[in-house]
Structure 1
Amino acid sequence: MGCGVKLARAVLLIFTLIFLLIGLALLGAGIWMLVSQDRLFNVLNLINEHAGNSEIGDELERISQQKGVVATAGAILVAAGAISAVISFFGCMGAIKQSKFLLIIYAGIIGLLLGGQIAAAVLVMLYKDRAVSLASSQLLILQDKYLISINEFPTAVKQPESAVSLAFNSMFVSLRCCGVNNVTDAAASGSWQKSNRTWYNRGNLTVPATCCPLVDHADTTQLLVELRWDFLPEMLRSFSCPVSGDGMKTLPCVEALLAFVNQYSLWILVGCVAFAAAQLLVITFTFCLVCAISDDKKYG
């Protein structure tokens, strides 16, 4: 076996082992999500400190309807991890056993994945505006149906809308935006209008509290990570903003998301190109190894 073949084999083993470890990590994360749904809901504050109350029994059934979201995410991770692990297994065993059969299968699968990624990139470029429009319309539907006031987060166990509403309010804070397409559509949400909108004896909320700017250098970890939304009032730049609407954010969230993507578009593009180049390199080294294997080598 020449130096070139040894190099090809070593590079192939390194890449396949990396992908194998990533696949196993995704598989483990997916399995953990599937078996730890109750713990996840505790973390999301969907089951609060009153979980021991006898009234919780009726609510657990409602919560179980939301677990489909977690189960779906877990199943996707399991599938992605399993597929990645199996594909990597073909590459590892093919390189170790010097099996043409396994190496050709591995190169073929990687080639199909690379082709799919290129096709997806082309479709994204061709249908970007249409995809943004479709995503905006779907977000508007979710906002109108599930957005609730942060006043109801502490008793979110009684609200099937809580998980989606948490995502919306987190987006309003992290992206410093309000509403999907304009700053008024959040306050026009049907579910938000029906939720508890009292604001510390100052009147009713006219806009979501998360649509108001925070003080400079506010520690949003308490909101976004620890999910302590009771800290929000003291973080607001203007305590009266949620009632009056004065000084509320003016940037719609779709525009904020696009701006965020555009800000990091170069790095995203570099990452995608680097990943595609790595796949192409793997395919090249795989076929180099296939060609180097003698014809009388068993197919392992």
Structure 2
Amino acid sequence: MVELSCGKKMMKYLLFIINFIFFVLGAAAFGLGIWALADKNKMNVLTKIGAASSNFDVIGLLESAAIVLLVGGACILVIGFFGCCGAIKQSQCLLCLYAIFLLLIVILEIAAIAIAASFRGKVTTEVKSFLKESINSTYQGKVDTNEEFSLGLDYAQVYFQCCGIDSYTDFYGATKWNRTVNTSVTMKIPPTCCKLIDKDAFLKDQKFDPIDKNCPYDPNDTNSNMNKPCWTSIEDYLKSRIGVVIGIAAGILVLEILCVVFACCIISTLRAESVK
């Protein structure tokens, strides 16, 4: 075995440790994916979560997640194996395979980031369009609803203290919203667009207690959130937390690039020694 310099030895052992962690994580993900696909009887129990909605395919979602774990785990497992064995055995062949596979992943990750950035505007438009269409066709406007989309939007409006996607006028086309429940007066905004005395009581127990009982029929900036669109609030919420996600992703990308550099440095040394 070729005697490496102190710096190259450090690279070798760092490469081994990092890839051993990848190997263990890959094996865990791979095993979890196999278990989830093999033990469908226990997975079927989880479909009760979506019993309230015939359109929500929980078992299909779980199977897709299991396949992602299986494939992703297998890839990480193989790459980790090449990295561990290549480093500890000082194998040019394994280290070359490792560097090539890891470099391909880095390129794909950078490409995915570029594609996501270029399609960001289109995705925003499509999501907004979908949400507005769902309001028109599905939204019920009842504070005690069990319909998934209506419940989700109501929770978002209370949590973010907002109203509508771009405006409270988004609800004007809601065909399933009965705007004259128990009264002859027409509601101008859904009840969850109103300001509440305790929003946590609604989020936990769907207890609706507005600061002004007349708010849905006569809303203003004092008793409601009618002029605060939800899309802006959600974007602000995500932007305030996206830094952590970007930091983790950047850290992983830098670590992958370092591993490629370490592997290439060791390969270069091994090749130089082999021709002496």
What is residue 273 of structure 1 aligned with on the other side? Answer: 250
Counterpart selection for 2:7 from 4, 7, 12:
4
Distance 2:61 2:247 in 1: 32
CA shift in 2, pair 1:33/1:254, >3 Å: farther
8 Å contact 2:47–2:58 — kept in the other structure? no
Between Structure 1 and Structure 2, how many residues are aligned? 264
CA shift in 2, pair 1:204/1:30, >3 Å: farther
What is residue 248 of structure 1 aligned with on the other side? Answer: 224
8 Å contact 1:178–1:186 — kept in the other structure? no
- Say whether 1:211 aligns with 2:193: yes
SS in 2 for 1:278: helix
Distance 1:144 1:272 in 2: 37
SS in 2 for 1:283: helix
One-letter identity of the residue aligned with 1:178: C
- 1:52-71 paired onto structure 2 within 5 Å: 62=54, 65=57, 67-71=59-63
Deviation at 1:281, TM superposition (A): 0.7
8 Å contact 1:31–1:74 — kept in the other structure? yes
Deviation at 1:286, TM superposition (A): 1.5
With the length of structure 1 as denominator, give the TM-score of the two structures: 0.67
Counterpart selection for 1:181 from 162, 166, 170:
166
Deviation at 1:288, TM superposition (A): 2.0
CA shift in 2, pair 1:277/1:150, >3 Å: same
Quote the RMSD (CA, aligned, Å).
3.9
With the length of structure 2 as denominator, give the TM-score of the two structures: 0.72
CA shift in 2, pair 1:27/1:253, >3 Å: farther
SS in 2 for 1:180: coil
What is residue 144 of structure 2 aligned with on the other side? Answer: 151
- Say whether 1:14 aligns with 2:17: yes
Distance 2:273 2:261 in 1: 22
Distance 1:30 1:175 in 2: 36
CA shift in 2, pair 1:15/1:245, >3 Å: farther
What is residue 40 of structure 1 aligned with on the other side? Answer: 46
- 1:28-177 paired onto structure 2 within 5 Å: 35=40, 36-42=42-48, 44=49, 46-47=50-51, 62=54, 65=57, 67-148=59-140, 149-153=142-146, 162=148, 164-177=149-162
Deviation at 1:284, TM superposition (A): 0.8
Distance 2:193 2:242 in 1: 26
**Range that drifts further, 25-34 or 181-190:** 25-34
Counterpart selection for 1:292 from 246, 269, 273:
269
What is residue 177 of structure 2 aligned with on the other side? Answer: 193
CA shift in 2, pair 1:241/1:264, >3 Å: same
CA shift in 2, pair 1:183/1:204, >3 Å: closer
Which structure has the higher relative contact order (CA within 8 Å, separation 6+)?
Answer: 1
One-letter identity of the residue aligned with 1:175: F
Structure 1 unaligned blocks of 5 or more: 49-58, 157-161
- Structure number with bigger Rg: 2
- 1:221-236 paired onto structure 2 within 5 Å: 223=203, 231-234=205-208, 236=210
8 Å contact 1:233–1:239 — kept in the other structure? no
Distance 1:237 1:12 in 2: 61
Structure 2 unaligned blocks of 5 or more: none
